[in-house]
Structure 1
Amino acid sequence: MEVKKLPAHVLTTIGIGSVYPVYFPENLEELKSILKSEKVYIIGGGSNTVLPEKIESKIVSLRKFKKIKIKRNSIILGAGVSLSEVLKLQIKENFSLFEIFAGIPRATVGGLVAQNAGAFGREIKDFLEKVVYLDLDSYEVATLKNFSSFSYRKSPFPKKGVVLETEFKIEKDNHVKEKIKKFVFFRLSKQPPFYLQTAGSTFKNPLGDSAGKLLDLVGMKGFKVGGVKFSEIHANFCINEKGSFEEFKKLISIAKERVKEKFNVELELEVKIPR
């Protein structure tokens, strides 16, 4: 199994943290071996992960799980396939699937499924046909076809198991390239520029409300702690300007306290923090 020491800015889009050994299993047996012997954190493209300076878990990437197979009305994708690879394939083959996620940097299929990522009123579970995963109790490969356990930004994974591959419904769409461009431009107009180090939405939206709006109303737009701040464009996006994990923790703590005090709303983190 390949092991590389990689810095936080390579592993995550926000780039907070230090340098970590990362394990790259090439097959199911190598993945099983490390899961059985170590406490593990499965990392995708790191678009919604903030790494502490030190973590107990071994970081494992499924980057080598790259299966792609197009069927008549569906597509099978390995957990390590990137969002950008799928979007390029959509343009080449003219089908609709992930265009609503266009512009999210470095996301992977496994990460999108595990978080039940969503945008513009739709979620990953709306496209799913099945999820093939490694069960963490039996260490056997299992299949999930009922997605009632999925909810807003939540799925049974990784608690239930490690996503290996997925099958999604697809539809023919000769205008998908234009739609992808539209969603990219929309994100550019409403969110911080892609070249900044950010982990996307910091907090989940409370039921019937907007985390960004609440943060804006309590003065968090542009609010800074050391080298980490909330964006002046969108108050729910943290931006790393050579900051530390401790500064990030302090910033989100202040934000949560202010929103709780003014609106009696408990904000819940959307970003993942491994332990």
Structure 2
Amino acid sequence: MEVRELSAKELTTIGIGSSYPVYFPENLEELKSLLRNEDIFIIGGGSNTVLSEKLNRKFVSLRKFRNILLEEDRITVGAGVKLSELLALQIQKKFSLFEFLAGIPKATVGGLVAQNAGAFGHEIKDRLVEVKFLSRETLEVEVLRDFSEFGYRKSPFPELGAVVEATFKIFHSQKVKEEMKKFVSLRLEKQPPFYLRTAGSTFKNPPGDSAGRLLDLAGLKGFSVGGVKFSEFHANFIVNEGGSFSEFLELVEMGRKKVKEKFGVDLELEVRVIT
């Protein structure tokens, strides 16, 4: 099994942290051997993850789980397939699936399922048919077809086990490329440029409101602590300009405190903070 030392800049889009050993299982047996250790963390593209500098964990990447089976009305995809590859296949084969996620950097299918990623009123679970996962409890491959435990930016994974592949409903579309362009334009209008180091939305939107709006009205747009700041483009994005994990945590707590004081709203993290 391949093991490499990778930096936080290679593992996550925000790039906060140090370097960590990462295991790359090539098959289910190798993944099983890793899951027996409770101190592992399965990492996808790291587009919504922030890492502490000091972690006594084994990181596991499923980048080598890359199977794709395209059928008439569905597609089955391995956990390690990148969102960008899937979007390119959508354009080539002209089918609708994840155009609403176009523009999210480095995301993988496994990570998108585990997060129940969403944007512009759409969510991953809306297209799910089934998820195959390696159960932490039984160390056997099991199939999930009931998605009632999926919610706003949450799923039963990775607590339930490691997503190894997922099957999605697809629809034929001659306009999929145009739809992707539309969603990328919407993303660029409202969010920081793709080249900046962020972890996506910091906080979940409270019911009936926007976390970015509340942070903005609390005076936090552009506010910084050391080398991290709330973006001037959208206050719910934290931009890393060479900051540390402790500075990130301080900025997060500042955001929560100000919004709570001004609006009485408790903001809940959307990014995964690994300590």
Structure 2 partner of 1:247: 247
CA RMSD of aligned residues (A): 0.7
Structure 1 partner of 2:228: 228
SS in 2 for 1:219: coil
Residues of 2 paired with 1:219 and 1:20: CA distance? 36
- Compute the displacement of 1:274 (Å): 1.7
Residues of 2 paired with 1:33 and 1:160: CA distance? 16
Structure 2 partner of 1:208: 208
In structure 1, runs of 5+ residues without a counterpart are none
SS in 1 for 2:250: helix
Residues of 1 paired with 2:121 and 2:214: CA distance? 20
Q: CA contact under 8 A between 1:78 and 1:109: conserved in structure 2?
A: yes
Residues of 2 paired with 1:205 and 1:105: CA distance? 21
1:125 equivalent in alignment to 2:138:
no
Partner amino acid, structure 1, of 2:72:
R
After TM superposition, where is structure 1 displaced by more than 6 Å over at least 4 residues in a row? none
Residues of 1 paired with 2:197 and 2:98: CA distance? 23
Partner amino acid, structure 1, of 2:158:
P
Residues of 2 paired with 1:187 and 1:206: CA distance? 20
Q: CA contact under 8 A between 1:38 and 1:58: conserved in structure 2?
A: no
Structure 2 partner of 1:100: 100
Residues of 1 paired with 2:104 and 2:150: CA distance? 21
Partner amino acid, structure 2, of 1:56:
N
Q: CA contact under 8 A between 1:192 and 1:234: conserved in structure 2?
A: yes
Structure 2 partner of 1:189: 189
- Compute the displacement of 1:34 (Å): 1.1
Q: CA contact under 8 A between 1:57 and 1:274: conserved in structure 2?
A: no
Structure 1 partner of 2:137: 137
> Percent identity among equivalent residues?
65
Partner amino acid, structure 2, of 1:53:
E
SS in 1 for 2:273: coil
Q: CA contact under 8 A between 1:38 and 1:57: conserved in structure 2?
A: no
SS in 1 for 2:50: coil
Residues of 1 paired with 2:182 and 2:225: CA distance? 34
Partner amino acid, structure 2, of 1:219:
G
In structure 2, runs of 5+ residues without a counterpart are none
Residues of 2 paired with 1:88 and 1:81: CA distance? 12
Q: CA contact under 8 A between 1:133 and 1:162: conserved in structure 2?
A: yes
Cα deviation per residue 1:128-177 (whole Å; 9 max; x = unaligned)? 00000011111110000111111111101011111000000000001101
SS in 2 for 1:258: helix
- Compute the displacement of 1:37 (Å): 2.7
SS in 2 for 1:134: strand
1:163 equivalent in alignment to 2:157:
no
Structure 2 partner of 1:259: 259
Partner amino acid, structure 2, of 1:272:
R
Residues of 2 paired with 1:241 and 1:77: CA distance? 35
Structure 1 partner of 2:17: 17
1:27 equivalent in alignment to 2:16:
no
Residues of 1 paired with 2:258 and 2:17: CA distance? 26
Question: Which range moves more in the overlay, 118-127 or 227-236?
Answer: 118-127
Residues of 1 paired with 2:59 and 2:6: CA distance? 10
- Compute the displacement of 1:56 (Å): 2.4
Residues of 2 paired with 1:90 and 1:241: CA distance? 34
The total of aligned residue pairs comes to 275
Structure 2 partner of 1:55: 55
Residues of 1 paired with 2:44 and 2:161: CA distance? 15
Residues of 2 paired with 1:87 and 1:17: CA distance? 30
Residues of 2 paired with 1:113 and 1:183: CA distance? 20
Structure 2 partner of 1:84: 84
